[in-house]
Structure 1
Amino acid sequence: TNPATGEILASVPKLGATETRRAIDGAAEAFPEWSRRLAHDRANILRKWFDLLMENQADLAAIMTAEQGKFFTEAKGEIAYAASFIEWFSEEARRTYGEIIPSHKEDARILVTHEPVGVTAAITPWNFPAAMIARKAGAALSVGCTMVVKPASATPLTALAMAALAERAGVPAGVLSVVTGSAGEIGGELTSNPKVGKVSFTGSTETGKKLMEQSASTLKRLSLELGGNAPFLVFEDADLDAAVEGAVASKFRNSGQTCVCTNRFLVQDQIYDAFAEKLTKAVKKLKVGNGMEDGVDQGPLINQDAVETVKAHIEDAVEKGARIVHGGKPHALGGTFFEPTVLVDVPATARIAREETFGPVAALFRFTGEAEAIAMANDTEFGLAAYAYTQDLARAFRVSAALDYGIVGMNVGLISTAIAPFGGRKESGFGREGSRHGVSDYLDIKYTLMGGLG
């Protein structure tokens, strides 16, 4: 369904445990041959997949905008971002180096090698329907694993289109499968089937915990990229224009529906009013509309439940003393469109201080000094991403070290790239995607003692 218009775009198969088991069996059958292929051959296939993704960037972006809602230029950016992971991991395929360790015996050698874990599974969200698949599948396939993907029910078309291009690029049958349908049935099979060696999930902390419980009986390896409550610290010595630019990029990208979106703006008291004024001025310029229309900066929210969550967070904050200086209600366009919103004087007791809003609401809190800012920023069970703006180099290093987060954007509002490790700590999960570390969770370490060499 198109969230901008309510139009039904297509229907996809509603598959369940039986079909998922069949896909897992196919992945298990394909694994021996795929894992034996030269890294050079796998790299070439992935590189061809990258080329096809970029050649079809506009068409894939149109599909994404139609089913997910983000505006077309942003969707094109996601396709390029997704493709960059396939390109990166096509190159990493050649670099899973082993070790030779000085032996404890004169007639022996210690060898350490890395081997693919086997069949893997990916369960991906609707907010980045291409990138989340590419981060997982690129890493898995590059080192010789096979993968079964369960895309979000709201955005299956992007996943299916990507899989079709992978097949066209030469990915063999069974190496990459997409299973659409019941999240409960498919997820249950992926986490309980003993043939699956690893599950990678991006989504809510609640669901991540459930998947972890379900995977316990077979001790599956897990990568979990879960919820966030990202703080954005603005110190008195910050470049306010740069901070506002970073704030808009961090908060309103994808209509505020990303796991690394700023959820709390922590602004030093001396520059609080000036920052609020500049931010409000910038937010007023954002154009809301159908993502296929020219000049649109913000599309709809994914569904009505998302609208209700945003409304509830705003109402709660206002009841507890916050003021709305811009927006604050569903957009006049109707449907699931929502006004870009700025709240000031938000108290620490507001729900928005504790819960991830996943919508276009900038909530501004005050702090007086650095120690208080760090304490406020870390006062959450989440630990995915954090941001800070300061022109004091010593403070930048102190703050980065003190923030209890897996990712820190210092004087920058956009942090994601294929060449850096993406992931969190605490209840934001564990494991890393992207960079050379991204393949680690798809590899087993084998130690071989070669004796009798004297």
Structure 2
Amino acid sequence: MDYPELALHIAGRWRTQTQGGRRAVIDPATEETIAHLPLAGREELAEAAEAARRGFIQWRAKSALERCNILRAAAQKIREQAKTIAQVLTLEQGKPLAESVREVTLSADIVDFQAEEAKRLYGRLVPPRVEGILSQAVVRRPVGPVAAFTPWNFPANLPARKLASALAAGCSVVIKPAEETPGTCMLLVRAFLDAGVPPEALNMVCGDPAEVSSFLIDHPAIAKVSFTGSVAVGKLLGEQAARHVKRFTGELGGHAPVIVCEDADFSFALKSSIAAKFRNAGQVCASPIRFYIPRSRFGEWSEAFVQAARALRMGPGTDAATQMGPLAHARRIEDMQRFVDDAVERGAQLLCGGQRAQRPGYFFEPTVIANAPPDSRVMRQEPFGPIAVLQPYDTLDEAIDSANALPYGLGAYAFTRDLHTAHRLGEALEAGMVGINHFGVSQPEMPFGGWKESGIGQEMGAEGLLHYTEVKTLTVGVPA
């Protein structure tokens, strides 16, 4: 597979030579360097922000229908190049090629949906309460240039969410993808530009993450900040945006529980859980982590879960037989080991895995832990890797209380064949997205976002578009 020459898009030009130096891009399946990424310096970051200011004026002047048509053309270009983009995604991120293809095609669907929503950015008319007023209207207008920051776990899906919503609303964008996975975003940006987005309205930069985020959030041209990543970093960027009274959307981490009820179809629940847990090697913010199982069936579930985890085929994403690829980089391997060691030291049972695979690449064995104490790190912090924790429960109330015990609320799941129990769990689980009898809570038509420390605001769906707008009250009186 070929990997493209990397470039940044700043002020209408693709640049391979920049002031910030270069950084190696590593194939996580082989640990080999596949490219070098140019990094933006402060002057280039300033150019990008100023270009976004100019691009905003051009882009917001287009009608909603024009924006819709351009974005739909971009979605079509992404579909036409899906195989090429997916190959680049797999090379730099590691996930199986089939998962990459699905991610790219879903990204095109996200762009399509938000393109259509551009035509439905409705306001409302309010009857005047006094004489002399012809009309009172509430309208929505684009907030302005956006600084968007995305991580490495979904290099197509996450940039697509931010680019589609911001551009559909009429905003310009400076996007910073993860330095580990820049090629996928670069190809998406090209698709948008080729479809007709004004060159200055869409800039792509990379560099030192802390420096880039701090510079762009502080820059007076930037009106809105959108971030996907860890809770800790999200809090820092949110505080910085708040100091400038800038709008902030944070899609942060989670620690998703799964409650398997006594009446659930255990075979279906198990098969679904294995697929969801080890998808993208567990590097998913809404990935299921804590599995609460009735004590009477805990042994049965544990044995079957471990057997299925051990049977997963690890390998490079370019191999069609691979079911789980590598972690994104060496730091993830080290962190997985710390999670496992801490849990075992505190009395948890390691049922399988728990160590780095003995092969080249950043591979960590599918890991299953049982009876982890509440104070263990894996029960308090998001592992963001191929670690599942199995916990027995005696009553459904106990399981619900345990599921809601953490300060996170992104995804939560449950399996039951009883309709009353399904509605009860849907109401009781404290999360922005709850899936009953399935894990597919992330769809282009549905808002994606968390409660508690898992985030502020939503992406995708009609709600995602609204976060890139300001509300204006407009009244017109009778002329004298």
TM-score (norm 2): 0.92
2:86 to 52, 57, 61: 61
Cα distance in 1 for residues equivalent to 2:107 and 2:405:
32
Q: Match of 2:371? A: 345
Cα distance in 1 for residues equivalent to 2:79 and 2:123:
33
Cα distance in 2 for residues equivalent to 1:294 and 1:150:
31
1:311, CA displacement in angstroms?
1.2
Is the Cα–Cα contact under 8 Å of residues 31 and 362 in structure 2 kept in the other structure? no
Is the Cα–Cα contact under 8 Å of residues 5 and 335 in structure 1 kept in the other structure? yes
1:380, CA displacement in angstroms?
0.7
1:113, CA displacement in angstroms?
0.9
Cα distance in 2 for residues equivalent to 1:345 and 1:116:
50
2:424 to 392, 398, 422: 398
Is the Cα–Cα contact under 8 Å of residues 328 and 339 in structure 1 kept in the other structure? yes
Structure-to-structure mapping, 1:216-365, within 5 angstroms: 216-365=242-391
2:59 to 34, 37, 42: 34
Q: Match of 1:132? A: 158
What amino acid maps onto 2:388 in structure 1? Answer: A
2:100 to 75, 78, 92: 75
What amino acid maps onto 2:111 in structure 1? Answer: I
Q: Match of 1:13? A: 38
Cα distance in 1 for residues equivalent to 2:400 and 2:89:
38
What amino acid maps onto 1:416 in structure 2? Answer: S
1:22 corresponds to 2:47: yes
Is the Cα–Cα contact under 8 Å of residues 289 and 333 in structure 1 kept in the other structure? no
In structure 2, runs of 5+ residues without a counterpart are 1-25
Q: Match of 1:378? A: 404
Cα distance in 2 for residues equivalent to 1:321 and 1:400:
32
1:332, CA displacement in angstroms?
2.3
Q: Match of 1:447? A: 473
1:184 corresponds to 2:210: yes
Q: Match of 2:446? A: 420
Kindly provide the CA deviation profile for residues 168-194 of structure 1, in whole angstroms up to 9, marking residues without a partner as x: 111111111100111122101111112
Cα distance in 2 for residues equivalent to 1:225 and 1:383:
11
User: Which segment is superposed worse, 286-295 or 17-26?
Assistant: 17-26
1:206, CA displacement in angstroms?
0.9
Cα distance in 2 for residues equivalent to 1:51 and 1:449:
40
Is the Cα–Cα contact under 8 Å of residues 192 and 217 in structure 1 kept in the other structure? no
Is the Cα–Cα contact under 8 Å of residues 416 and 422 in structure 2 kept in the other structure? yes
Q: Match of 2:117? A: 92
Is the Cα–Cα contact under 8 Å of residues 249 and 414 in structure 1 kept in the other structure? no
Cα distance in 1 for residues equivalent to 2:308 and 2:446:
29
Local SS of the residue matching 1:196: coil
In structure 1, runs of 5+ residues without a counterpart are none
Is the Cα–Cα contact under 8 Å of residues 124 and 202 in structure 1 kept in the other structure? yes
Cα distance in 2 for residues equivalent to 1:147 and 1:172:
11
1:246, CA displacement in angstroms?
2.0
Percent identical among aligned pairs is: 39
1:106 corresponds to 2:131: yes
Kindly provide the CA deviation profile for residues 262-318 of structure 1, in whole angstroms up to 9, marking residues without a partner as x: 121111212212221222232222110011012101111111211111111112222
Local SS of the residue matching 1:318: helix
Is the Cα–Cα contact under 8 Å of residues 125 and 151 in structure 1 kept in the other structure? yes
Local SS of the residue matching 1:233: strand
Local SS of the residue matching 1:94: helix
1:320, CA displacement in angstroms?
2.3
Is the Cα–Cα contact under 8 Å of residues 104 and 157 in structure 2 kept in the other structure? yes
Cα distance in 2 for residues equivalent to 1:429 and 1:75:
25
Q: Match of 1:434? A: 460
Local SS of the residue matching 1:43: helix
Cα distance in 2 for residues equivalent to 1:448 and 1:38:
19
Is the Cα–Cα contact under 8 Å of residues 235 and 390 in structure 1 kept in the other structure? yes
Cα distance in 1 for residues equivalent to 2:143 and 2:59:
12
Is the Cα–Cα contact under 8 Å of residues 202 and 224 in structure 1 kept in the other structure? yes
TM-score (norm 1): 0.98
Query: How large is the Cα RMSD of the aligned pairs?
Result: 1.3
Q: Which runs of at least 4 in structure 1 moved beyond 6 Å after TM superposition?
A: none
What amino acid maps onto 1:83 in structure 2? Answer: A
Is the Cα–Cα contact under 8 Å of residues 85 and 135 in structure 1 kept in the other structure? yes
Cα distance in 2 for residues equivalent to 1:273 and 1:416:
31
Kindly provide the CA deviation profile for residues 359-392 of structure 1, in whole angstroms up to 9, marking residues without a partner as x: 1111101111111111111111111111111111
Local SS of the residue matching 1:199: strand
Is the Cα–Cα contact under 8 Å of residues 16 and 185 in structure 1 kept in the other structure? no
What amino acid maps onto 1:377 in structure 2? Answer: A
Is the Cα–Cα contact under 8 Å of residues 255 and 301 in structure 1 kept in the other structure? yes
Cα distance in 2 for residues equivalent to 1:113 and 1:345:
53
Cα distance in 1 for residues equivalent to 2:317 and 2:285:
21
Cα distance in 2 for residues equivalent to 1:270 and 1:420:
36
Q: Match of 1:47? A: 72
User: Which segment is superposed worse, 322-331 or 381-390?
Assistant: 322-331
Is the Cα–Cα contact under 8 Å of residues 246 and 414 in structure 1 kept in the other structure? no
What amino acid maps onto 1:367 in structure 2? Answer: Y
Cα distance in 1 for residues equivalent to 2:155 and 2:346:
36
Cα distance in 1 for residues equivalent to 2:332 and 2:428:
33
Q: Match of 2:141? A: 115
Kindly provide the CA deviation profile for residues 79-118 of structure 1, in whole angstroms up to 9, marking residues without a partner as x: 0121111111111110001111111113212111110011
1:411 to 424, 427, 437: 437
Local SS of the residue matching 2:122: coil
Local SS of the residue matching 1:174: helix
Cα distance in 1 for residues equivalent to 2:377 and 2:409:
18
Is the Cα–Cα contact under 8 Å of residues 347 and 365 in structure 1 kept in the other structure? no
1:453, CA displacement in angstroms?
6.8
Kindly provide the CA deviation profile for residues 128-180 of structure 1, in whole angstroms up to 9, marking residues without a partner as x: 11111110110010121100001111111111111112111111111111001
Local SS of the residue matching 2:110: helix
